[in-house]
Amino acid sequence: MASYNRVVLMGNLTRDPELRYIPSGTAVSEIGLAVNDRVKRNEQWVDEATFVDVTLWGRTAEVANEYLSKGSNVLIEGRLKLDMWEKEGQKRSKLRVVADKMQMVGARSGKAGRSTEDGSQNSGPRLAQESTIGAEADGSQDRLGEPAPAMPPSDEIPF
């Protein structure tokens, strides 16, 4: 039987990341994520929050600890994992997300802002978004130095 375990979530951190290191030296960070949904109940729209615990590993955990804080908007891609343990004779379980990828979304929070020598604020490194689809019709070049193909008029797109 085939299976597929993939989760994509975008929401806000409910608390600051908690960074620690396991004995092998690998960084691990736990974050709480609030994902909001808008549902209609009794003819009124109501905001409903779902709270998800997320585990980040390696450099991703260190980056989260350095640049994210409570309230930061983030996109997480990962997989579901069920943790099971026994405490005081009772079996317990918790479903969480183990992140493979993390993308910071929106404006930087105060944790990333740093003062420069002249007293101005530096928001840290910017995340560059690189488009790999489509090209300008003005004769620009693609990443390999080849002339970029012109995009066909919208009525000629075959799909």
pLDDT, tens digit, for every residue of 9-28?
A: 999 999 999 999 999 999 99
Domains assigned to the chain: 1-106 (2.40.50.140)
CA distance 105 to 121: 19
pLDDT the model gives residue 27: 95
- What is the chain's mean pLDDT, rounded? 77
Q: Is the full-model pTM beyond 0.85?
A: no
- Residue 26: the pLDDT is 94
Look at residues 56, 139, 53 and name the one whose alpha carbon lies nearest to residue 100. Answer: 56
Query: Please, which pLDDT band fits residue 36 given cuts at 50, 70 and 90?
Result: very high
User: In the beta sheet, which residues pair with residue 96?
Assistant: 81
